[in-house]
Amino acid sequence: MLRPSPSELLSGVADALEQTVLGELERGVARNQVMAAVGIVRRCAAAVWEYGPVLHADCVDVSSSLREIVESDGGALVAVPGVRERYERVQVEAERVLGSGYPSVVALGELALELREVVALVAAEVERRGQVDAGAAVRALLVRMLEREEGVGLSPW
């Protein structure tokens, strides 16, 4: 499992596609798609070791930031129908996943998606209420999330 590493395996796939498949394809859509696939695989090869730790850091930050934002509001944010249940459920899940010895990337990814959904709900409610301090905290959280994501280099944008 350590040799070849996941990064080396992905790099090998990209090399094989470039050296064998691309040479057989004429210019056109199929060749462009294979070239794009090679780029994606190379990007994944470069990021594979960072992905788990970045997801972990993101989940820890989002969970604790959500807690701070909600507590600073005296709980009014989670009084909105549907928000309280989602918020409480995602915090329980965050404690379960982040409290395990070494959570899997799959578990972290699923938690990250759930946390992001709650961030969106809280952000919308903060905006609706015009809460300046909570809005600033949400924006700061979103900036940190974006910076972590950009640091991994997997975004197609």
Q: Name the residue with tokens 């010895």.
A: 101
Assess contact for 142 and 119: CB atoms under 8 A: yes
Domain boundaries, the chain: 6-152
pLDDT on residue 101: 82
pLDDT on residue 149: 86
Dist CA 45 CA 51 (whole Å): 11
pLDDT on residue 156: 61
Name the maximum alpha-carbon separation found in the chain: 64
What pLDDT tens digit does each residue of the chain (157 aa) get?
A: 567 878 888 888 899 989 998 888 889 999 999 999 898 888 888 878 888 899 999 999 999 999 999 888 777 777 777 888 899 999 999 999 999 888 888 899 999 999 999 999 999 988 888 888 888 999 999 999 999 988 887 766 5
Please choose, from the candidates 123, 101, 119, the residue with its C-alpha nearest in 3D space to the C-alpha of residue 59.
119
